[in-house]
């Protein structure tokens, strides 16, 4: 009786699936199985719209290039040395089961990539405007090598910083020299573009557009630097008197704070619209200071980014001008006044557009065991509070590489299995077509081979396998992986392989229908 009801519902389920936008074509099925499953043409091929469970969690680390914090280790390294250091970082992230890297490519209106808009970065060669030798495009290299390892690559830009004091003397190639009308000098030796100027916005928008068009990026990323921290200017106000007076002289009525915030808001909205026009699948992520205003929530005290950085980060999240939001919650779980879970809960309450909320966490608290305890605790708190879209961004890769115990405990604990990145249904909710696969037994292994129906639409695969008496297990593979060999007998449990399955995932991490084959 139950099987007959299921059989009667199956055409309706198929209709719902394909009416919702599934890209797969309908398989030929019959229902002669006693367990209620449906079999695809070949009796050993079982079609099921729902794949076995795979953990979905964004796992990323920041790689800072400003002042050579993370990469390259110092200016002036050879191309071979730069590449070797990059590969070591990427290999670390891959083997430790991360799935994304946030690489700083524009630290000070310069470029760690070939650009017609801005000069080569000082942090690459030790001389701004001088290309690496032998020539190569670092960003292109990073993107290709990240994707080979199944990692997303998010390009991190500073939208307004024009010159960092660690880059030594200003060169004629600097925007400070080329466009002095756009910049102001701060007391600590830095130079900053004036966010209120339309030409400032146009310049940074052009940089974003250039990156999105020319590189195979997965995301564009901004951190907390909008208007600079007052400490950069000897605790004095940002020196934008000229543009402020021009605003007043044209009849402006807003107060100075609202006027500044309005220009930053305008820039963020335009960046988001630009990216979605060029390549809708490219995610925009912003990582603001972790506190919007003191008193939000009520027990929180500390720095006020709304009034000091003129960053209305709450508005950007409320409006959905981001695809993922990474507030820098760099405090311990039990920190009075800036509690990690309390702040995360408040930001969750502001996520009215249901974007990804993947907090940025500090992972260096001065001791290896303390690092591990706090970091793992915050990862698990995030999983519990954000079960529908888990994720964490680690500041930064340095402590992960420095502290062996920290890395080991994360790898053996919460990151003991690779994970998919949560899908972004507001960008694309249509799954790719199911890849076709075949299984061949060769001596002691099963060789599984597959091919996508649309190679342009597939960016990852999940290979599933099950040994007798064991739950389903899985391996996440890249788009270039088109076969795998798996032992017919599990070497750990001495049990037999009984079935395998496969799905494909598109650029937005939508998963295809699931097909399994009995062994």
Range of the domain at 447: 2-54+428-518
C-alpha distances in Å from residue 258, one per residue of 108, 184, 235, 307: 26, 20, 20, 9
Q: Which pLDDT score, from 0 to 100, does residue 5 have?
A: 40
- CA 44, CA 486: separation in Å to the nearest integer? 18
418-468: pLDDT as tens digits: 999 999 999 999 999 999 999 999 999 999 999 999 999 999 999 999 999
Average pLDDT, stretch 119-135?
Answer: 98
422 part of a folded domain? no
Answer whether residue 176 shows pLDDT above 60: yes
319-342: pLDDT as tens digits: 999 999 999 999 999 999 999 999
417 part of a folded domain? no
Helix (H, G, I), strand (E, B) or coil at 137: coil
Helix axes 340-349, 368-385, angle to 10 degrees: 30
- CA 182, CA 163: separation in Å to the nearest integer? 12
- CA 194, CA 243: separation in Å to the nearest integer? 8
455 part of a folded domain? yes
Answer whether residue 6 shows pLDDT above 60: no
| DSSP, res 331 | S
In this structure, are 386 and 333 located in the same domain? yes
Answer whether residue 272 shows pLDDT above 70: yes
- CA 517, CA 256: separation in Å to the nearest integer? 66
Q: Which pLDDT score, from 0 to 100, does residue 46 have?
A: 57
In this structure, are 389 and 326 located in the same domain? yes
**Least-confidence region, from 1-10, 264-273, 387-396, 487-496:** 1-10
Q: Which pLDDT score, from 0 to 100, does residue 48 have?
A: 60
182-198 burial, b if ≥16 CB within 10 A, otherwise e? bbbebeeebbbbbbbbe
Domain count, the chain: 2
Q: Which pLDDT score, from 0 to 100, does residue 248 have?
A: 99
E-strand ranges in 35-109 read 38-40, 45-48, 57-63, 100-106
Answer whether residue 29 shows pLDDT above 80: no
Q: Which of 497, 495, 503 is nearest to 518 (CA)?
A: 497
In this structure, are 145 and 208 located in the same domain? yes
421 part of a folded domain? no
User: 121 with 65: CB under 8 angstroms?
Assistant: yes
C-alpha distances in Å from residue 433, one per residue of 52, 423, 439, 449: 18, 16, 19, 16
User: 232 with 191: CB under 8 angstroms?
Assistant: no
Among 351, 380, 412, the domain boundary falls at 412
User: 102 with 393: CB under 8 angstroms?
Assistant: yes
In this structure, are 156 and 231 located in the same domain? yes
Average pLDDT, stretch 229-240?
Answer: 98
In this structure, are 65 and 44 located in the same domain? no
222 part of a folded domain? yes
In this structure, are 406 and 499 located in the same domain? no
123 part of a folded domain? yes
In this structure, are 408 and 482 located in the same domain? no
Which CATH number is 488's domain given?
2.60.40.10
In this structure, are 209 and 64 located in the same domain? yes
User: 39 with 10: CB under 8 angstroms?
Assistant: no
Confidence band for 367, pLDDT divided at 50, 70 and 90: confident
Among 412, 444, 461, the domain boundary falls at 412
33 vs 517, residue with greater confidence? 517
Q: Which pLDDT score, from 0 to 100, does residue 171 have?
A: 96
- CA 393, CA 238: separation in Å to the nearest integer? 30
Q: Which of 321, 432, 474 is nearest to 24 (CA)?
A: 432
Answer whether residue 30 shows pLDDT above 70: no
499 part of a folded domain? yes
In this structure, are 243 and 127 located in the same domain? yes
Helix (H, G, I), strand (E, B) or coil at 484: strand
Question: Which residues have CB under 8 Å from 101's CB, separation 6+?
Answer: 60, 61, 63, 89, 90, 93, 142, 146, 151, 152, 153, 154
305 vs 1, residue with greater confidence? 305
Among 385, 412, 439, the domain boundary falls at 412
In this structure, are 385 and 506 located in the same domain? no
**Least-confidence region, from 49-53, 89-93, 303-307:** 49-53
**Least-confidence region, from 51-65, 88-102, 304-318, 358-372:** 358-372
Average pLDDT, stretch 409-413?
Answer: 97
∠ CA 299-303-308, nearest 5°, is 135
Which CATH number is 298's domain given?
3.20.20.80
In this structure, are 41 and 76 located in the same domain? no
- Tell me the whole-structure pTM to 2 decimals: 0.91
User: 129 with 181: CB under 8 angstroms?
Assistant: no
Q: Which pLDDT score, from 0 to 100, does residue 306 have?
A: 99
In this structure, are 242 and 100 located in the same domain? yes
217 part of a folded domain? yes
């Amino acid at each position: 009786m139950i099987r007959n009801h299921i059989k009667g519902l199956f055409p309706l389920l198929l209709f719902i699936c394909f009416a919702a936008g599934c890209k797969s074509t309908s398989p030929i099925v019959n229902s002669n199985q006693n367990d209620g499953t449906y079999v695809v043409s070949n009796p050993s091929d079982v079609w099921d719209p729902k794949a076995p469970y795979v953990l979905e969690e964004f796992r990323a680390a920041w790689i800072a290039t400003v002042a050579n914090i993370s990469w390259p280790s110092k200016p002036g390294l050879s191309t071979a040395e730069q590449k070797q250091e990059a590969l070591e970082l990427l290999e670390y992230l891959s083997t430790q089961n991360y799935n994304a890297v946030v690489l700083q490519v524009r630290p000070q209106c310069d470029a760690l990539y070939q650009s017609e808009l801005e000069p080569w970065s000082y942090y690459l060669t030790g001389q701004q405007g001088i290309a690496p030798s032998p020539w190569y495009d670092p960003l292109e290299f990073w993107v290709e090598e990240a994707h080979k390892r199944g990692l997303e690559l998010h390009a991190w830009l500073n939208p307004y910083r024009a010159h960092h004091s660690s880059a030594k003397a200003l060169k004629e190639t600097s925007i400070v020299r080329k466009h002095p009308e756009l910049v102001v000098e701060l007391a600590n030796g830095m130079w900053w573009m004036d966010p209120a100027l339309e030409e400032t916005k146009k310049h940074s928008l052009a940089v974003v557009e250039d990156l999105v068009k020319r590189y195979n990026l997965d995301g564009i990323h901004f951190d907390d630097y909008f208007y600079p921290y007052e400490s950069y200017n000897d605790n004095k106000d940002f020196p934008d008197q000229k543009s402020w007076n021009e605003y007043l002289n044209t009849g402006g009525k807003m107060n100075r704070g609202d006027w500044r915030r309005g220009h930053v808001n305008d820039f963020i909205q335009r960046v988001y619209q630009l990216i979605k026009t060029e390549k809708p699948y490219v995610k925009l992520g912003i990582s603001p200071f972790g506190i919007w205003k003191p008193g939000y929530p009520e027990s929180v005290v500390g720095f006020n980014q709304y009034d000091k950085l003129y960053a209305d980060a709450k508005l950007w999240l409320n409006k959905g001008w981001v695809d993922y939001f990474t507030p820098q919650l760099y405090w311990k779980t039990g920190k009075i006044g800036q509690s990690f879970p309390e702040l995360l809960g408040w930001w969750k309450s502001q996520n009215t557009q249901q974007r990804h909320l993947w907090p940025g966490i500090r992972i260096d608290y001065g001791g290896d065991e303390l690092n591990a305890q706090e970091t793992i605790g915050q990862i698990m708190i995030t999983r519990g509070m954000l079960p529908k879209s888990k994720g964490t961004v680690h500041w930064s890769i340095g402590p992960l590489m420095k502290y062996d115990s920290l890395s080991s405990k994360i790898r053996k604990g919460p990151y003991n299995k690779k994970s998919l990145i949560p899908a972004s249904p507001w960008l694309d909710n249509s799954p790719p077509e199911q890849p076709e696969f075949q299984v061949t037994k060769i001596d002691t292994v099963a060789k599984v081979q597959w091919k996508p129906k649309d190679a342009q639409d597939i960016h990852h695969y999940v290979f599933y396998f099950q040994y007798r008496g064991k739950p389903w297990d899985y391996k996440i593979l890249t788009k270039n992986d088109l076969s795998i060999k798996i032992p017919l007998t599990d070497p750990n449990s001495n049990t037999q392989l009984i079935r395998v399955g496969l799905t494909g995932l598109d650029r937005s991490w939508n998963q295809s229908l699931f097909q399994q084959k009995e062994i």
